[in-house]
Amino acid sequence: MKEPTLGNPQNTIEVLQKYNFVFQKKFGQNFLIDTHVLDKIIAAAEITKDDFVLEIGPGIGTMTQYLACAARKVVAVEIDKALIPILEDTLSDYDNARVINNDVLKVDIAKLAEEENGGKPIFENHVPIKSITVMVQKEVADRMQVGPGTKDYGALSLAVQYYAKPYIVANVPPNCFMPRPKVGSAVIRLERYEEPPVKVKDEKLMFRIIRASFNQRRKTLANGLKNSAELDYTKEEIEEKEWLLKMK
């Protein structure tokens, strides 16, 4: 299989100029041009030749080339029609890579798993995924891994840490992208727990309470819960539960 050719500024510029590609802000298009970061992402994801990988937003196929070299099969879902001819070109030497031109929210993931992954689910609620490796804005990655007692700790922190142990693999500054974004990014790996660190009877209710608790951070917890549209409890019921908690 051909070694990846993308991941550096010169080759990326050549591809973009060849197709007269125009970046679309609505799609948040910033293409990675640092091979060291690409290598770190592949290593952190621990991809093997037994793995099927779903990539969301392949761009011009930079990461896709690296994934195709590491995995058994790669399906990349790209929403921008203008990128499809480019992907057909940059991935022409990778027989194990397939591109779907669609919004990933409209893709039938269950059907895709049946077709490409032997019927094994890719991701669903409570399916034991070993890990997820993703690149997000640096401030989002910080909120995902931060602990209690800090200003960034919130509903996102609790939601992520209920399911997985997060740690930042690499910080990715703006100069690693084309065009340069205004903010830095980070690659974060989420190692999913076999069992959540706490057991709850009603997860949906738990997350509604979490959202209600952090929606009005300047209020006390009791007042935040009383004024939340997330909960079906009356103010009297919340006050009663608050009294019971204090008693315990």
Residue 124 pLDDT: 46
Pair type for strands 177-178 and 31-32: antiparallel
- Angle of CA points 130, 133, 137, to nearest 5°: 145
Least confident of 25-34, 73-82, 211-220: 211-220
Read off the pLDDT band of 229 (50, 70, 90).
low
Is residue 122 within 8 A of residue 152, CB to CB? The reply is no
Place of tokens 């500024």: 9
Type and span of the H or E element at 77: strand 73-78
Task: List the alpha helices (DSSP H) in the chain.
Answer: 9-18, 35-45, 62-70, 84-90, 109-116, 138-145, 155-163, 203-215, 221-226, 235-247
The C-alpha atoms of residue 239 and residue 77 are separated, in whole angstroms, by 48
Q: Assign 3-state DSSP to the chain and report helix, strand, coil percentages, each to 5.
A: 45, 20, 40
Query: 84 pairs with which residues across the strands?
Result: none
Mean pLDDT calculated for residue range 4-24: 93
Q: Write the CB contacts of 24 (distance below 8 Å, at least 6 apart in sequence).
A: 80, 82
Mean pLDDT calculated for residue range 79-103: 96
Is residue 21 within 8 A of residue 27, CB to CB? The reply is no
pLDDT in tens, 43-86: 988 899 988 888 999 999 999 999 999 999 999 999 999 999 99
What is the three-class DSSP state of 28? Answer: coil
Is residue 64 within 8 A of residue 42, CB to CB? The reply is no
40: alpha, beta or left, given left = phi > 0 and alpha = psi -120 to 50? alpha
Read off the pLDDT band of 114 (50, 70, 90).
confident
pLDDT greater at residue 216 or residue 207: 207
The residue length of the chain stands at: 248
The C-alpha atoms of residue 36 and residue 237 are separated, in whole angstroms, by 55
